[in-house]
Amino acid sequence: MMVSSLRLPLAIRFLLLLTTAHALRAPAAAPRGRGRGVARGRGRGLAITRRGQQNIDWFEKRRDGVRSATKSARRSRTRKAESGGDALYADVSIDPTVAFRGLSGAALEEAAERLLAEAGAPPAQAAAVPTITSTVPDDSPVMWGGCPVGPVLKARLLAANLSAPLAVQRAAFAPVSQGRSALIWSETGSGKTLAFVLPLLSTMKKGTPAQVLAVCPSADLALQLRRVVDSLWPPEEAWSTGADPASAVHVLPAGDDGDDDAALLAPLATAPIVAGTPHAVRRLLEAAAAARRQELAASQTRGAGGAGGDDGDDAAGAAAAGAAALRRNLRVLVLDEADQLLKSADVARQAAARAAQRDDNNGAPLTRRQREVVRKIRGAATPCEEALRALPAAGCAKGLGDLQLVCATATAGRALRRQLQELSGAPNIEAAAQLVAADAKRPALLPRTLRNAYVLWRPPHCAGGGAAEADAAPVDEAAAVAEAAVAELGRAVQAALPAAAAILFAPRALGVAKTAEALRRAGFGAAEVLPADGATAVAAVAAAEAAAAEGGWAAAPVFVASERWGRGLDLGVRYVFLLAPPANAAAYMHLAGRTARCGADGLALTLVTHQQAPRVAAFGERLGVGFEPLEVG
């Protein structure tokens, strides 16, 4: 007993000594939330990896305010421009209680006039577009302004009075001709169609069918694409007597016009380029998928000793040849006006709503109800996305990433680039499509030769003071306001502008036909509805220019169109008339961009009420342009 009682304190002392030595030897545990790096072991905090220690040091420096450990808020100027592209889709409110809080009557009108005067200040001069030099002299028979197009294409370009490429055409030639996916971003009227057509034609073989599939938002744009290609690759004379010359571009029929699968697929066996609307392209790919299934079934039947298909059916043979050409030769997919095809405006609004909800939540994640509200902004998949999903079934490619993707638009933003990344399955937006612009750091959104003017007026229902927006008024009242706007436009234009070809985008309240009638009553005797065929409209504009010079505005061609004509079409008009500013800057950019094409002068004139002044001022700020009042004598 005496021995055991003497040994007990020594054992306790030994255990305490071991515990103290272990505590002194073990490092402090990493604080929770300060990064990974704790090595796995029997107990937490016993060992910290090298990276974990670096994360702990960075956290402590950031807590102490060390500048080298803080995250930089600066971004590249290109990404800022892309974010600005998304902001163009945001609608601008003209609620007077927001823009002119506490003002009414004369005070509101004075504030609106001051706001418009500030919007009329000239914008800062854009940086000069860098030029691309070439080691091959331009007098070479194969070079056109530094672009190796070959002798045949150069001769046809010069014959079309195209002496040199424009900036975006020069910038896009190399990446597109080398087979890289590209997103061509340039202002309206800058020659984006020729920017992707020319490098494709210079690398294509005219005798190989179905090499390019072009998706256009309307049949008019598809026909315009065919006119551009026909100017460089003239249609060949048909072998059969009385048949039309064979164009290199086959435009798919729009709508459900009763064409069977054989009629859709047969032209693919001869045309190198196929163009159409998303609905027409989807019908084509579904027909190609059905032909592929029939061919596989027939081959299995022949392998089993069956009789096989009917080789004497010429229509079925032509359809099978067209489907086979599409599967074998398709290598390029073109999305003309890509932001409209993919509805990037809804995606941008969805991202803005998500960011606003997150700010309201002080950075906390969105609730389930908030996510549902944000998800409804975008809606279902677009017809273009549904058409592209049919590519693998048709045997054209395993996915969009297997094809060269060429997109053209005047409003490229972060939303569109993320959409292209999602469609192609690329690891990042740069791999999905290379951004091609004349100056990516300072992209121009409107032509530099375009003048933006406005006429400030007071609608009839505004005579007593403040007025509401015409769109919010009843239908009869909105139509009366639109007719009064046409009369006001006639007085201002005939007093201040020389007669020339013009296009007026009709308001929904009045309609296209009634707007043309109101224009004729206002003194525009040659006002008419724009022909449905784009080629007919261009010919009508060219033929009426001489009449406008002799007879003034009574004989000048003033075409009335709906807003669907505000995308991509080149009509050759000098003026664009708007009876009211549209809802957002992107819509104004595309409508006003129907004039001042390819370096020509043009003017976009907008009728503005005092309540609509904040919208015009916002357009000037977002587009980087100035609005000037039309001097009416």
As a whole-number percent, the residues of the chain with pLDDT over 90 amount to 37
Query: Which of 24-33, 137-146, 507-516 has maximum average pLDDT?
Result: 507-516
Residue 151 lies in a domain: no
pLDDT of residue 104: 81
Shared domain check, 373 and 265 = no
HSE of 157, CA atoms in CB hemisphere, 13 A: 26
Summarize pLDDT for 185-237 with one digit per residue, the tens: 998 888 999 999 999 999 998 889 999 999 999 888 999 999 999 999 999 87
Domain count, the chain: 4
More reliable by pLDDT, 304 or 316? 316
Q: Give 572-590 as a DSSP string.
A: --SEEEESS--SSHHHHHH
Above 60 in pLDDT, residue 507? Answer: yes
More reliable by pLDDT, 67 or 407? 407
Above 50 in pLDDT, residue 30? Answer: no
Query: Which of 326-340, 353-367, 440-454 has maximum average pLDDT?
Result: 326-340
Q: How far is CA 628 from the centre of its chain?
A: 28
Residue 579 lies in a domain: yes
Mean of pLDDT values over 491-520: 90
Summarize pLDDT for 439-468 with one digit per residue, the tens: 766 667 888 899 999 999 988 865 444 444
Summarize pLDDT for 373-397 with one digit per residue, the tens: 777 777 778 999 999 999 998 888 7
Summarize pLDDT for 107-119 with one digit per residue, the tens: 888 888 888 888 7
Residue 100 lies in a domain: no
pLDDT of residue 581: 93
Above 80 in pLDDT, residue 361? Answer: no
Q: At 359, is the pLDDT very low, low, confident or very high (cuts 50, 70, 90)?
A: confident
Residue 8 lies in a domain: no
| C-alpha to C-alpha distance for 319 and 142, rounded to whole angstroms | 38
CA-wise closest residue to 17 among 5, 7, 9: 9
Q: At 624, is the pLDDT very low, low, confident or very high (cuts 50, 70, 90)?
A: confident
Shared domain check, 621 and 509 = yes
Above 80 in pLDDT, residue 598? Answer: yes
Shared domain check, 348 and 282 = no
The residues, any chain, with a CB within 8 Å of residue 115's CB and separated by 6 or more, are 613, 614, 617
Summarize pLDDT for 252-279 with one digit per residue, the tens: 997 665 567 888 898 998 999 999 999 9
DSSP state of 379: -
φ/ψ of 616, rounded to 5, equals: -65, -40
Q: How far is CA 348 from the centre of its chain?
A: 11
Shared domain check, 482 and 370 = no
Residue 253 lies in a domain: yes
Query: Which of 32-36, 132-136, 244-248 has maximum average pLDDT?
Result: 244-248
pLDDT of residue 200: 96
Shared domain check, 503 and 400 = no
More reliable by pLDDT, 406 or 259? 406
| C-alpha to C-alpha distance for 284 and 502, rounded to whole angstroms | 37
Q: Tokens 């043309």 label which residue?
A: 516
Mean of pLDDT values over 427-448: 83
Mean of pLDDT values over 116-144: 60
The rounded mean pLDDT for the chain is 80
Which CATH number does the domain housing residue 118 bear? 3.40.50.300
Shared domain check, 294 and 280 = yes
Q: Tokens 């937490």 label which residue?
A: 44
Summarize pLDDT for 514-559 with one digit per residue, the tens: 999 999 999 998 898 887 666 667 777 767 666 666 778 988 889 9
Query: Which of 213-217, 304-308, 411-415, 496-500 has maximum average pLDDT?
Result: 213-217
Task: Return the HEC string of 444-462.
Answer: CCCCCCEEEEEEECCCHHH
The secondary element (H helix, E strand) that includes residue 210 is none
Give the end-to-end CA distance of the chain in Å, rounded to a whole number.
125
Residue 487 lies in a domain: yes
Above 70 in pLDDT, residue 128? Answer: no
Taken in order 207, 209, 211, 216, the sign of the CA dihedral is: positive
Paired residues of 503 in beta bridges: 559, 576
pLDDT of residue 312: 47
| C-alpha to C-alpha distance for 342 and 427, rounded to whole angstroms | 20
Shared domain check, 331 and 252 = yes
Taken in order 157, 158, 161, 165, the sign of the CA dihedral is: positive
Length of the chain: 633
Q: What is the chain's percent helix, strand, coil content, to nearest 5?
A: 50, 10, 40
More reliable by pLDDT, 53 or 115? 115
Shared domain check, 396 and 363 = no
Shared domain check, 594 and 538 = yes
Shared domain check, 500 and 358 = no
More reliable by pLDDT, 410 or 30? 410
Q: Are 369 and 328 in contact (CB under 8 A)?
A: no
- When mean pLDDT is compared across 5-9, 169-173, 236-240, 372-376, the lowest value belongs to 5-9
The angle subtended at Cα 571 by Cα 520 and Cα 150, nearest 5°, is: 165
Shared domain check, 198 and 276 = yes
Residue 367 lies in a domain: yes
The residues, any chain, with a CB within 8 Å of residue 485's CB and separated by 6 or more, are 457, 459, 507, 579, 580, 607
Q: In which domain, by residue range, is 374 found?
A: 344-381
Above 60 in pLDDT, residue 71? Answer: no
pLDDT of residue 139: 66
Residue 230 lies in a domain: yes
What's this model's pTM, rounded to 2 decimal places? Answer: 0.80
Shared domain check, 539 and 463 = yes
